[in-house]
Structure 1
Amino acid sequence: MPPAPETVEIDFITPRHLAGGGDPAWITVPLHRACGWSHGNDPLMPRVLLSSPDQKALLRLEPDPDGQWWTLHHAAEPDRPAWYASFGARTPVELIAAVTDALTGPPPDASAPSDPYEPLRQDGWSEYGVQGLVSPDESAYVERLGTLDAPGAWFVTVTLGFGQKVWEARFGAHTPSHLVAAFTTALADPKPVHRTDSGRSLPTLDPNLVTRRTTDVLAVHIASALEDRVQSLAARRASPSAIPSSPPLSPPKSGRHR
């Protein structure tokens, strides 16, 4: 008999904002291979630098125990000042990828709504403070500083009890609203994300906050997930009407709960 196919134990996590960071390659590899971003190489520094083909955008991934690990800077354009976005180490890569996918995709329809709060309201988030919303589990907050006449930066903060910060995302005041909306849409998405090391990466194992459904998945499916994402984005680049597919892994109908 032929050997049984190799499997990998996968955890499907909800809510996704408490799933841990995930694999950075989910962001960096498609940017390089599918979107044409070039990368620098400094073997003496534990960091990744990727720049867009037009040299207007720079993505930096650099371990910083006291700050944001991911930083995206974009140069000024005729109709917009320079802007930035940054993300903490435990920001799920699926959320950051939603921003980079939107940045590298076709320009948004000018008539399409891009209110970053709307996906959260539809997901049951409630009012928080003056210009903010809080998630149903009260662990995630989205707010915009400034005033209605002079709006400022966006902050997305995830915490556990007693103010323990898990991660924070920041979007400068001039960040295009459709990019912030792409992030909040991914944040509100109820679909679980998969992790192979959730026992170490989850910020909490409290079953009242995090649901883990564990199952064995064929290793070949894990290996092909990133390649499928690259091919999807490459097809979108070749055909602007193409829409990138969602991550191919989906939770089974049954599995072991933790």
Structure 2
Amino acid sequence: MSAPEPAGTVRMVSVSPLYLAGGGDPAWVTVPLHRACGWSHGTDPLLPRVLLSSPDQKAMLRLEPKADGPWWTIQHARTADQPAWYASFGARTPVEIVAAFTDALTSPCRPAVAPDPFEPLRKAGWQAPADDAFVSPDGLVRVDRTDSWAIRTAPSPIAPAFWRADLSGNTPAHLVTLLTSALSSNTAVVRAPAQVPHLARARMNLTTPDIPAEALASALEDRVRALASHRAAHAAPARPHPSAGHGRTR
């Protein structure tokens, strides 16, 4: 019989590696996009989906439960210096991985030089069975770069995937790099016991910490504040309006 939880705490499960943790709470992605980044949402109470549009109307996130398709889809329109692109993530993709991608998408910081998306995997000790592929040390995740990007998490190459992600080849390199950084992170995440997938429990590192209920309740609010502060700190300064004294004179 397990020990009772201390007063004011909640028994959770700490899971690593991140890519086996299961989906988690979609609000970890959608609420900060709306409240910290100004993405607008439509209202359609008759459909079990979420649609969020960026302030410039260039990007859209769709969260829609599908039995045989991706749950998360992000589409970005063409811009002056970037072709149109898309990214999709399956239902069991951990929300922390999707959030790493959307946080990078909405960040006002952009690298001056396009990074190598494979570099975080090299640094984390992933193996390269081919020039355009990397496999996690436990063999459960494979990242391929052909004409597009594909991430597949499965117990074997022929087994059904726990989850997969697909990104067009035009997806900006710094977004893919933040995605691979999250994918290869050793940081554990917490889930409610019922949220932990049973399919891969034997391959996970699991502990059952008692977490203060207040910390759990405030985690999403803390994330929204942190993301809003980051955006405010790195926002481009407003361009000054020309003063009347700089106009033409007769």
User: Same fold by TM (over 0.5)?
Assistant: yes
8 A contact 1:14–1:192 mirrored in 2: yes
8 Å CA contact 2:124–2:184 kept in 1: the answer is: yes
Q: 2:35 aligns with which of 21, 33, 36?
A: 33
**Is 1:232–2:226 an aligned residue pair?**
yes
Residue 214, structure 1, aligned to residue 208, structure 2: yes
SS of structure 2 residue aligned to 1:239? helix
Q: Which runs of 5+ in 1 are unaligned?
A: 146-151, 242-258
Shift of 1:5: 4.3
**Structure 2 matches for 1:112-131, cutoff 5 A?**
114-131=115-132
Give aligned pairs, total: 229
For normalisation by structure 1, the TM-score amounts to 0.85
Q: How far is 1:7 from its partner?
A: 1.4
Partner of 1:159: 154
Q: Give the aligned residue type for 2:213.
A: A
Runs of 4+ in structure 1 off by over 3 angstroms are none
Q: CA deviation at 1:107?
A: 3.4
Structure 2 residue aligned with 1:18: 20
Q: For 1:163, what is the secondary structure of its paired residue?
A: coil
For 1:26-175, what aligned pairs fall within 5 Å after superposition? 26-111=28-113, 114-145=115-146, 152-161=147-156, 162-175=158-171
RMSD: 1.4
Once residues 50 and 91 of structure 2 are traced to their aligned partners in structure 1, the CA distance between those partners, rounded to angstroms, is 14
Distance 1:240 1:191 in 2: 26
- Over the matched positions of the two proteins, sequence identity in percent amounts to 52
* Larger radius of gyration between Structure 1 and Structure 2: 2
| 1:95 and 1:187 in contact (8 A); partners too | yes
AA of the residue aligned to 2:214? V
Aligned amino acid, residue 32 of structure 1: H
Residue in 1 aligned with 2:247? Answer: none
**Structure 2: where are the runs of 5+ without partners?**
1-5, 236-250
Q: SS at the partner of 1:185? A: helix
Task: Name the TM-score, length of structure 2 as normaliser.
Answer: 0.88
Partner Cα separation in structure 2 for residue 203 and residue 68 of structure 1: 20
